[in-house]
Chains A and B, each alone.
Chain A
Amino acid sequence: MRDLSILHLILASGLVALLAGLHWRSAPRLAQGLGVGLVRCAIQLSLVGLLLEALFSHVHLAWVAAMALVMALTAGREMSARQTHRFRARASFWIGASSIMVSSYLLVLLALLVAVRPEPWYHPQYAIPLLGMLLGNTMNGIALAMDRLTDGAITERRQIEAQLLCGRSATAAIATLRSKAVSSALTPAINGMAAAGLVSLPGMMTGQILAGSAPMPAVRYQIFILMLITAGTGFGTYLAVQMAARRLFDGRMRLRVDRLAALE
């Protein structure tokens, strides 16, 4: 396969810049978002590329663990930044980061030890890309679920409190909202599985085929990754929604929307 030069990347970036230009007058915030996204994506991926090259040449568990920790904490921060209403005292960050870590780390460990089995088992060439894919998707799922849950706690406060007033427990009063939050997180993953191969060819499989791999091994890897992503998103979201739903109430089963602050 032919290597891409800087010129090719500038050409692709130019397309996004053109899109930002189209929206510059009518939606300046959107245009600004596209511009910032373009620059961040280019810088972050270049830095990660350099970092991965360094990691590949110095394979050591401590370096891989440090990288995994930084990635998960960054995912927690990104997730928290996307909330319309955040828990005070950085609780949204800790809920997000801990759920992302537990879910993604466990599934990546499982994938490395049971399926991929590189030598050594933590080899960054396998561990970091797998973790990256899981973290990204789990982060998106948790961000959607937390946003739905906290926003719903405010907009559906009357319905929730009406149930508390009828003697229902906090768990029962928030059950419908909790299930809506989990659904909103898992819908993209379900759609992704349903559309895979029919509507779209997933990115990882496309990348492998473009890099010269035979289609069937690429397909098997893709199915494996899609299942991991769905499970990771589902488990991470379940944990985050459980913790966030608990935090929405105090010991007297009062709905504590005062624990949320609107994003300025």
Chain B
Amino acid sequence: MQTLRLRGLRRLGLKGIDATLEAGQLACLKGRSGSGKTLLLRAIADLDPIEGTVHLDGQDSSSMPPTEWRRRVAYVPAEPGWWAERVKDHFASDPSDWLSPLNLDPDLLRSNVDELSSGERQRLALVRALVQHPDILLLDEPTANLDNDNTAAVESVVQGRFLTAPGRAVVWVSHDDNQVQRIATRVWVLAGGQLEDRTP
């Protein structure tokens, strides 16, 4: 079953991106800094105006209310934002189920955001996206601030728990070749504004 389809995406450095990601697939997106990886994820999440189309299960993003699109196509930025003082005020529904698999103490929910480490923020931002029950996860370097144990926990949750549910797929930006080998079912490389499929 086809899940996510990008056709002719153009904006700033992106020169017409075409790609298809099917359910159950995890595409690792590689590319030099400044090659447009974040730009591409933002475009898929419908955060920036862009030429071209993004389809989810055959439905064009523009034909779906933006709030619904962003819930179904959840983007976790490399530096996620926090708008309320307390951690628990950022969750639309109870995040408890996702905390321990990601090595997060439930007491963290009662703390203030500025008491969190960067690694805790990154994992909590992932939880914030997961509780929305998205179909697609767009992850921008989700393990950049994490040690090996927590990196393994994130990989395990995304691969073993999120991706195993039907109709789901992931785009994961990574600069770590070992990680790409471990988790990717597809390898996308962004260079010169073009997306190349280099799946081995």
Contacts and interface: CB of A to CB of B under 8 A. Distances in A.
Interface string B72-89: 001111011111000000
A165 B83 contact: no
A250 B49 CA distance: 9
Interface in B127-142: 128-129, 132
B61 to A, nearest CB: 8
A254 B71 contact: no
B62 interface: yes
A150 B71 CA distance: 27
B47 interface: yes
B66 A253 contact: yes
B128 A252 contact: no
A165 B129 contact: yes
A156 B83 CA distance: 9
Nearest to B79: A158
Nearest to B132: A167
Nearest to B138: A165
B78 to A, nearest CB: 11
A166 B79 contact: no
Contacts of A161: 47, 77, 81
A200 interface: no
A159 B84 CA distance: 9
Interface in B68-110: 68, 70-71, 74-77, 79-83, 90, 92
Contact of B83 (A163, A250, A252): A163
Nearest to A167: B71
A252 B62 CA distance: 8
Nearest to B67: A167
A92 to B, nearest CB: 21
A12 to B, nearest CB: 49
B46 interface: yes
Nearest to A177: B83
B48 interface: yes
Given A160-B83, A252-B66, A253-B66, A165 B49 contact: no
B45 interface: yes
Contact of A169 (B46, B47, B67): B67
Contacts of B81: 156-163
Contacts of B76: 165
Contacts of B77: 158, 161-162, 165
Nearest to B73: A165
Interface in A126-154: none
6 contacts: A158-B80, A162-B80, A162-B90, A166-B70, A254-B48, A254-B49
Given A161-B47, A252-B46, A167 B68 contact: yes
